[in-house]
Structure 1
Amino acid sequence: MDEAIKKMQEMDASYRFLLLYDELGHCTETEQNQKISEMNSTIDEMDSERLLSFFNKSLFDKISMMTGETRTPWEKNVLLLKHLGYRRVLKGCAESKFYFSMLRERFEKKINEEDKKKDERNERLLVDLCECYLLVSCQYSSEIICICVPCILKAALRKEENEETKKEVEMALLSLSHVNQFIKTDEELYFNEIKEIILNHQEHHNLTWLAYQSAWKFLMNRFDFDKRLEGVIVNELHFIRVATNEPVELAMHIDWKRKKEEKGEREEREELALERWLYALAQYFYLFESTNEEYIGLFGCPVQIFRVAKDCRREIGEMCIQALGYASRNRAVKFEHLVKSGAVEAASEWIIQLSSCLNQICLSLMLLKEICWALKKKMKNENDEAKRKDMKRKVSEKMEEEGYEDCLIGFHNCIKSRSPRYMFGNLEECCVYF
């Protein structure tokens, strides 16, 4: 092996990236493409901690200074940054200093300039600029969002089923999913297009796991702002059916016994899609205003995921319990549906399985408390004595079988000393809701 290549491989990944980047402006286009490929490989080597420390203002300022017609062309830097943003999302690095850098201002100016060219604009460059802007930042200009959303949706509407197109569509939808719920987005910018993308996948299954979930995440973030979307989400796009089955199917597809650091990019994308499905469920459980028998299956979705993931991935188990906790605090919920879904057993198992993680135990106790108190209130208004006794017996048996009463008493004093935000009160009453 060439000595120079060997030394390059032995260097720290972030240092190697910067060294290659310094050479980028002095290369031919072919050499630039080769170096960008090498830099992308160094990014892939970084774990989440290294990537987070690398993703800083000085990096973006450096790239800003090196970007220009006589230095490194926009097209090359955008491709490089888009891959960096993509890896940031896969690794779950939420923080980004891009918004506070000189590069952010240049990006916004460049996006505006390309958009104003209309017939003469470089469509591919504009799409890349918009996707990159959304992937590397955590804060967005609402004016730029009005350009980015329709531009990226147009790219995401491509229906060819070859692998290259699937990857491009996945990147487009992934970037859109980061337009958060705090940014108001007018319906005319996205509504018909995102419906078409979701419905087309339901018919033809043309999207990857992550692309399909990203389309839903973008729409659910709009639901956060506009509750009128519930009718469309449930009745036209069949959210209850999709969210009951899709996350569970995905969870069954994942190899949970394989260590996280051993997983490849495909597996990282699948786990990210699952985590985001659980977040979407939590959003929906918190916001929805209607209910029917189908919700037993919907509440059962995080219960099933909890069962397959809890032993290997505690963070997934916690997300499942959190999602059910949001459901327990929604006034539209029929609590007998939540009980039938298996939520009581899941919360009880979580308490017994954990020995030291008080925050996660508190999540389970909060869920059980909400269910018990709601059922207690319901029973006070229940005229049918036989039904009242039957419900009392079923819930009591579930809690006693899992040792809930013993766990509750054991943790009671510890929990009372926690932050006031838990507000448990006399928790022993949860077991004696009747």
Structure 2
Amino acid sequence: MKELIEEMDENEMKYALTEEVFNKIDCMIEEKKLPLESAIDFLKHIGYYEILRNISNTNYMTSSLRKKFDEILIEEEIKKEDRNEKTRSDLCECCILLNCLFLSESISNYVPNLLKATLNKVENEDAQKEVEIALLALNNIAYYYDIEKALYLNEIKEIMKYHMDHRNLTPLAYQSAWKFLIERVRKESSLEVIIANELHFGREASRELTELAKLLDAKRKSKTKGDMEGKVILRWLNTISFYFLNCKLWNKEHSVIVGSIASLYKSTKNYFEDIRMLCIRSFVSAAGNRVVKVRTLLKNGAVDVFLEEIHQSTLINNNFATSLEFFEDLCERLKEEMERKEDEIKRKETKRKVLEKLEEEGYEDIIVSFHKTHPFMTSGTQYMMKTKKTCDYFVHI
């Protein structure tokens, strides 16, 4: 049955995992036809693949199985003796992977159990898989719940630093650890110093993207499935976008991340559309964040990516509007820099380089030509407003 879940695509999983299926599993447990431990293991497997495939399935939430598991967790919580910690921990993982909601006060009880599982440093395949699942469950709650920093920070730092020295985690497990920590920045801004300066997010993200891109390319050339590598790359790009949108401190490793994404874009643009689009989106996030410098985007390849996108775009291509959004942010920031006299020399040099790139292949003509035809765009007023505004910047700034 596990193998069948692994072979299903997103639509098949979505329509196969009905409320009736979860109710049936409940009946099988009740009738002693399926041991509780086996049911939990199987359901963790389902939740794992739902997360990897970005499936939102609420059928478990309305099933009788969810009520049974809630009752078991409550029973284990109130026990003072003979508490089955493994069942409690496994069941907690299972419910979180299946996107189950908890009371915030309950989460603070579950996080230490999940972290305990992630600290297993045994490097055999089964142990690595258990750590991977625990970290995946952990980051599935990162965005929605308030979790005290004391509950997780030392453990997450230990996990990451050990991996940096020993490379013991799977790529998905390592990405999941980072996703958990970075999404905590939204509620704990002080974490950014640790993320950027102590744990070197830019260096680590760049290395992971580079290694995964090589594996993905090798599998493509050998006509072998690279599903996992592709999914982990997409998760990294989403995490990087989140980081760019929320980071407040300048860090020299921003240039390393930008350069890696530009390289990833070049190596995947003709074969992996989802990766291409998220590369573009992450640069838009970076351009909109005043912490990531315009010179960083120019020097490390981001501007070249959007010039290429504009060159290949058509009136019905969403990439064109996204490219204009990127250049609009850059132009707005150049305009802001103009108002700060101390930056005048650097601003003029950056502006000169941007305009040189635009003129090299006639990109400014392309942008203005879209401005001329904007009344015929069919995707709403957003295109028209952005086109006119951006062209005005290029012509008048």
The two structures share one fold, judged by TM-score above 0.5: yes
Q: Which runs of 5+ in 2 are unaligned?
A: none
Residue in 2 that maps onto 1:400: 359
Selected match of 1:299 from 248, 258, 270: 258
Change beyond 3 A, Cα 1:385–1:127: closer
Asked if structure 2 preserves the Cα contact closer than 8 Å seen for 1:349 and 1:402, the reply is no
Indicate which of 9, 15, 18 corresponds to 1:47.
9
Deviation (angstroms), 1:106? 2.3
Deviation at 1:245, TM superposition (A): 2.5
2:35 corresponds to 1:92? no
Alignment of 1:148-297 (within 5 A): 148-255=110-217, 258=220, 264=225, 267-297=226-256
Change (3 A) 1:431 1:138: farther
Kindly indicate whether the alpha-carbon contact (under 8 Å) linking 1:372 and 1:433 is maintained by their aligned counterparts in 2. no
Partner residue in 1 for 2:287: 328
Q: Count the aligned residue pairs.
A: 393
For residues 344 and 162 of structure 2, the distance between their equivalents in structure 1, rounded to whole angstroms, comes to: 50
Instruction: Return the match for 2:35 from 66, 69, 73.
Output: 73
Contact (CA 8 Å) 1:108, 1:144: kept in 2 or not? no
Deviation at 1:113, TM superposition (A): 2.1
> Structure 2-normalised TM-score?
0.89
Q: Which moved more, 1:129-138 or 1:206-215?
A: 129-138
Is contact 1:112–1:144 with CA below 8 Å preserved after alignment? Answer: no
Choose the corresponding residue for 1:337, options 296, 314, 320. Answer: 296
- Contact 2:316 / 2:377 at 8 angstroms: preserved in 1? no
How far the C-alpha of 1:274 sits from its partner, in A, is 1.2
3-state DSSP class of the match of 1:98? coil
Q: 1:432 and 2:392 equivalent?
A: no
Distance verdict in 2 for CA 1:74–1:372, change over 3 Å = same
Note the C-alpha offset of 1:196.
Answer: 1.0
Q: Deviations over 1:237-280 (max 9, x none)?
A: 22122123322222222127739xx755xx33322221111111
Deviation at 1:370, TM superposition (A): 0.6
Structure 1 unmatched ranges of 5 or more: 1-38
* Alpha-carbon distance change, 393 to 93 in structure 1, aligned in 2, over 3 angstroms: same
Residue type of the alignment partner of 1:240 = G
Shift in alpha-carbon separation, 1:138–1:111, aligned structure 2, 3 A: closer
Higher mean C-alpha deviation, range 166-175 or range 297-306? 297-306
Cα 1:139–1:406 shift into 2, 3 Å: farther
**d(CA) in 2 for partners of 1:308, 1:69:** 54
TM-aligned CA deviation for residue 48 of structure 1: 1.4
CA drift at 1:97 = 2.8
Q: Distance in 2 between matches of 1:139 and 1:360?
A: 36
Deviates more, 1:112-121 or 1:303-312: 112-121
SS at match of 2:50: helix
Identity of aligned residues (%): 40
Which residue is equivalent to 2:92? Answer: 130
Offset, 1:92: 3.0
Deviation of 1:402 after TM superposition, in Å, equals 4.6
379-388 or 279-288, which deviates more: 379-388
Q: Distance in 2 between matches of 1:291 and 1:384?
A: 16
Aligned-CA RMSD value: 2.7
Change (3 A) 1:388 1:87: closer
Q: Taking structure 1 as reference, are residues 427 and 189 closer, same or farther at Cα in structure 2, changes over 3 Å only?
A: same
What is the TM-score with the length of structure 1 in the denominator?
A: 0.82
> CA offset at residue 323 of structure 1?
1.0
Q: Do the aligned partners of 1:63 and 1:77 also contact (CA within 8 Å) in 2?
A: yes
